[in-house]
Amino acid sequence: MVKDEQAGAWTKAYTGGKFVRKSSEFRDIISHDGPFEPASGRYHLYVSLACPWAHRTVMARTLLGLEDHVTVDVVDWRMNPDGSWSFNPDEPGATPDRVNGEHHLEAVYRRAYPEWTNEGHVGTVPVLWDKATGTIVNNESREIIRMFGTLAKALGATTTLCPDDLVEEIDAMITSNYESVNNGVYKSGFARSQDAYEAAVSTLFDRLDELDRHLEDREWLVGDGRGTLTEADLCLFTTLVRFDLVYVVHFKCNLQRIIDYPHLQAFVEQMLALPGIRETCDWTHIKHHYFWSHQHMNPYRIVPLGPRTGPHAPQRGPSLG
């Protein structure tokens, strides 16, 4: 484990030059037979619009029609040097903490777990908060989107992102893409040895090549025929939509761009065309977060102007920061 004060919490997670993501600490679920029962208005999401993991939960909330049932607050895109998040209502697209009135997300974690310290833990986004008992239910995106399905069903929704007969296929697809793609871009960007970097980038692009071929004659990743929109698509999309905007440059994932993959690009565009999904994408939060926050990788915090092509226009411009 390497400790580097200047580079913040990210750097506490290294083994032999390789970036190793910590697991999430809060793993309760919303269910009919536990303390966290499905109910409208009871649950609250804390997210960063920059974060691909949090973005999954924002998209699931939209696609499952939970906007009137689950409230949301948005942290500032500027991650603190220790890897923590703050609320900054003056920032366009961000909000105050309207549930607990805190200024820092770490304080929300401490409400749930008073012994919480930033040593050994990192208060990540997303966080699913229970207003009824005043605690954190879960901070793992994959589990939050699954339990949003339970919540939506209990509230009478007919839409599902996880049909019963596809659960195994969905889980297998999410798992196959997790280390290679979703976490793979971080492993490429945060690598501290040439070998670790090259291994991560090779695995990443091998999987992207496979996925592009997989989507050649289908619209969605899993399901019969042309497939069915599921959680697996959300989980892949939030990484792909950040790729040409950020990861190609900032994380050196530059063997090719998503726009150079015909079927992956069509997949991104098809996802962006779903009702409400483009509105969940804040290009400014995404771009400024990465280039500004990882100062050890970009000491002058210069945010690139491009790309000129792709779905990311219009951008709010380079004046923020």
Ligand X SMILES: N[C@@H](CCC(=O)N[C@@H](CS)C(=O)NCC(=O)O)C(=O)O
Catalytic residue among 14, 43, 46, 51: 51
User: Least distance in Å: CB of 231 to ligand X?
Assistant: 12
- When the beta carbons of 174 and 215 are compared against ligand X, the nearer one is 174
Residue nearest to ligand X (CB): 83
- When the beta carbons of 46 and 261 are compared against ligand X, the nearer one is 46
User: Least distance in Å: CB of 249 to ligand X?
Assistant: 17
User: Least distance in Å: CB of 217 to ligand X?
Assistant: 30
User: Least distance in Å: CB of 141 to ligand X?
Assistant: 3
Which amino acid is present at 138?
N
Active site residue 186: yes
Within a 10 A sphere around the Cβ of 74, how many other Cβ atoms?
Answer: 26
Report which DSSP code applies to 74.
E
Kindly list the residues in this chain that would bind ligand X in the complex (CB under 6 A): 9-10, 24, 51, 53, 83, 122, 124-126, 140-141
- When the beta carbons of 71 and 86 are compared against ligand X, the nearer one is 86
User: Least distance in Å: CB of 84 to ligand X?
Assistant: 7
Contact in structure between 29 and 138 (CB atoms under 8 Å):
yes
- When the beta carbons of 161 and 215 are compared against ligand X, the nearer one is 161
- When the beta carbons of 44 and 261 are compared against ligand X, the nearer one is 44
Catalytic residue among 43, 46, 186, 290: 186
User: Least distance in Å: CB of 55 to ligand X?
Assistant: 9
- When the beta carbons of 190 and 220 are compared against ligand X, the nearer one is 190
Catalytically active residues are 51, 186
